[in-house]
Amino acid sequence: MKKLLFFLSVSLFALQSCSINSESVYHADSASTMVMDVDMKDAMTMVKSMMPDSLKDKKEFGKLEKLPKTWTSLYDLEELEGKKKSKNPDSIRIMKKIFMKSNFQNDEMAGLSLKLDHFTKADYASAQNISKKQQLPLDQLNTNQWDGKTLVIDTEKFDMSNIESMITDKLPSDEAMGKASGMLKMMFKDIGMTLKFDKKIKSITGKHDWITKTDDHSVKIKYDLDYLFSEDKKPLQFSDKKIIIVTE
């Protein structure tokens, strides 16, 4: 399962020529639900070229393609893999709230979907603890402070340090720093997410070039990759460190 989760984490954020649609819904009870769909029809070859040797064998990719085609929790996936289920109550609770499924087109694997269902701040922290040895890309999701009415976005966390560290962990130490930066520039096509709120947006304080209000319940964040990867960065027009969204 750890190898499968690592493969998914790279697929979600590091596939070249893929389409990534991410949506987070912020609920009035201070929890949030995230759904991410990854179209990877044209990217399997690229993924194999980036994977460590331990993940390149057909057996591991076979496991990926055998993922259920309907939403299935990580807890149930362990049973499908024939592994003993965790006995840790906190791990069980989190694994029952994370879902995965495969998407097929014309009998060929077309992508993956990941869902974090009704996650609280404590759930994100627990998920990070469970995946310490195989870092998952949950850091960015966990940086936004949401209390059921107000969302505080820390724009200083608009980077890809968690993905870069995941890459460097898999490379020899003498190659890690230089190669990780180069791989990021090559792999990322675009990064964006939609934030939706159960209740109507009342006000937005602060401005940032990458954040746009799209309707009364939604905000879109789109990273400027040219800016992130540029060594000679031009100042953004708006770059407030905190964006505060208040709902009714």
d(CA 40, CA 17): 8
Which backbone phi and psi does 73 adopt, to 5 degrees? Answer: -70, 155
The residues pairing with 222 across neighbouring beta strands, listed in sequence order, are 192
Q: Please report which confidence band the pLDDT of residue 197 belongs to, taking 50, 70 and 90 as the band edges.
A: very high
Structural domain span for residue 108: 2-247
pTM: 0.78
Query: Could you tell me whether strands 19-26 and 192-197 are parallel, antiparallel, or unpaired per DSSP bridges?
Result: parallel
pLDDT digits (tens, 9 = 90+) for 45-103: 565 566 566 555 554 456 666 789 999 998 898 888 777 667 888 888 998 999 999 88
Q: What is the mean pLDDT of the chain?
A: 77
Number of domains in the chain: 1
Q: Is the dihedral of CA 198, 199, 205, 209 positive or negative?
A: positive
Q: What is the DSSP letter of 55?
A: G
d(CA 128, CA 122): 10
Look at residue 119 and give its three-state secondary structure. Answer: strand
Q: How far is CA 236 from CA 40, 118, 145, 146, 224, in A?
A: 32, 34, 24, 26, 10
The residues pairing with 150 across neighbouring beta strands, listed in sequence order, are 246
pLDDT at residue 236, as a whole number: 93
Q: Please report which confidence band the pLDDT of residue 1 belongs to, taking 50, 70 and 90 as the band edges.
A: very low
Could you report how far apart the first and last alpha carbons of the chain are, in Å? 41
